[in-house]
Amino acid sequence: MVEAGEEGERPRHLRPPPEASRLPRALFGSRGHRRWWPVLTFLLVVAIGISLLFPGARHQWAVSILRQPTRYTVLYFDHPASLPHEARVSQTVRFSFTIVNDEGHPVDYRYVVGNVVGTGDPTEREVSTTRISARGARSISVSLRPACAASPCRIQVSLAGYPETIAFLVAPPTATDGSNA
């Protein structure tokens, strides 16, 4: 059954609701379903605000959002192509290496240079310390006599307290060079 109204008036079921009922529509949808996004947004803002009160949570926010500097040390041979491939036991081997400090503060690096037999620690080693400023580099020249009984002999450079290690192999001269080893 259709209700009759004045001429040109819409039927009741097609009319917009009265003005007084518009306020609850902010929290309720057009069909009476509750809209959760305003409540969830408010709760999210409150939770973030509370988390910023705690130092650990503030640190976690900073780590998650802001780019953190990477601290590292670099160790490399200056001229790797010129490293010796052969050496006599009495012959001095000369080479240089560089340490780069990107730790963010000055560091005293303790380096160890020596002959390595197998996978052990260096024997016949030279131990020294150098101070490198933040974002600085230092080239270090070394003279060393290989004293390995096994062939080839491994010359290793390592930094105490750091995982950086570099090495190269030196073999005794071959018999075809005409020398008596």
Domain contains 59: yes
Instruction: Tell whether 44 and 77 lie within a shared domain.
Output: no
Instruction: Tell whether 48 and 87 lie within a shared domain.
Output: no
Instruction: Tell whether 46 and 17 lie within a shared domain.
Output: yes
Count how many Cα atoms sit within 13 Å of the Cα of residue 132 in the half-sphere of its side chain: 21
pLDDT at 175: 56
Q: Give Cβ neighbours of residue 128 (< 8 Å, ≥ 6 apart).
A: 110, 111, 140
- 3-state SS assignment for residue 127: strand
pLDDT at 37: 81
Domain contains 4: no
Instruction: Tell whether 124 and 55 lie within a shared domain.
Output: no
Q: Which residue has the higher pLDDT, 2 or 81?
A: 81
pLDDT at 35: 74
Domain contains 85: yes
Per residue in 88-142, pLDDT (tens digit) is 767 888 999 999 999 989 999 999 998 876 555 556 677 899 999 999 999 999 8
The CA dihedral of 137, 142, 146, 150, to the nearest 10 degrees, is 0
Instruction: Tell whether 122 and 54 lie within a shared domain.
Output: no
Would the pLDDT of 67 be above 60?
yes
Structural domain count, the chain:
2
Instruction: Tell whether 26 and 52 lie within a shared domain.
Output: yes
For the whole model, what pTM was predicted? 0.59
Percentage with pLDDT > 90 across the chain: 29
The top-scoring range by mean pLDDT among 70-84, 119-133, 143-157 is 70-84
Range of the domain at 167: 72-177
Instruction: Tell whether 29 and 114 lie within a shared domain.
Output: no
**Beta-ladder partners of 43:** none
